[in-house]
């Protein structure tokens, strides 16, 4: 059921000289972790492969390290897995956003209780 009561949605975006990480690339990497393919991950999100590729390359450039290993060829065609640094950054992002949302919910109760319908 749709939540029509006043509620807050918190977004954390990471920048260096450019935007390099946020909810989009995080979701993409999460699906690569399961599907072992950037193409399959993009398709699963209804995103064009070219867009997924661009988001990935911009994130890697901004962060200064590779997020995915490409595994080319073989019987099943090429695939992708997260690099060790990619795994660590995604895990940090997941823990960070989980705790940030918890903090944001506590503060929401503190500051907005008068605006929430009883």
The residues of the shown chain that bind a copy of itself, judged by CB under 8 A, are 2-17, 20, 63, 88-89, 92-93, 95-96, 99-100, 103-104, 107-108, 111-112, 114-115
From the CB of 31, what's the least distance to a copy of itself, in Å? 22
- CB closer to a copy of itself out of 13 and 57: 13
CB of 103 to a copy of itself, least distance (A): 4
Nearer to a copy of itself, 48 or 95 (CB): 95
> Which residue reads 């993409």 in tokens?
28
CA distance 95 to 87: 12
Among residues 5, 14, 35, 7, the alpha carbon closest in space to that of 94 is found at 14
Which tokens go with 115? 């605006």
Q: In sequence order, what are the residues at sequence separation of 6 or more whose Cβ sits closer than 8 angstroms to the Cβ of residue 58?
A: 18, 19, 20
Shortest reach from residue 5's CB to a copy of itself, in Å: 7
């Amino acid at each position: 059921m749709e939540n029509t009561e006043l509620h807050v949605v918190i977004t954390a975006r990471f920048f260096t000289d450019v935007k390099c990480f946020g909810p989009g690339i995080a979701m993409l990497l999460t699906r690569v972790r399961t599907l072992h393919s950037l193409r399959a991950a993009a398709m699963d999100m209804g995103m064009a492969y070219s867009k997924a590729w661009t988001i990935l390359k911009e994130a890697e450039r901004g962060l200064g390290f590779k997020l995915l290993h490409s595994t080319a060829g073989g019987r099943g065609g090429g695939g992708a897995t997260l690099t060790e640094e990619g795994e660590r950054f995604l895990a940090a992002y997941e823990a960070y956003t989980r705790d940030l949302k918890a903090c944001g919910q506590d503060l929401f109760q503190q500051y907005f209780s008068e605006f929430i319908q009883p």
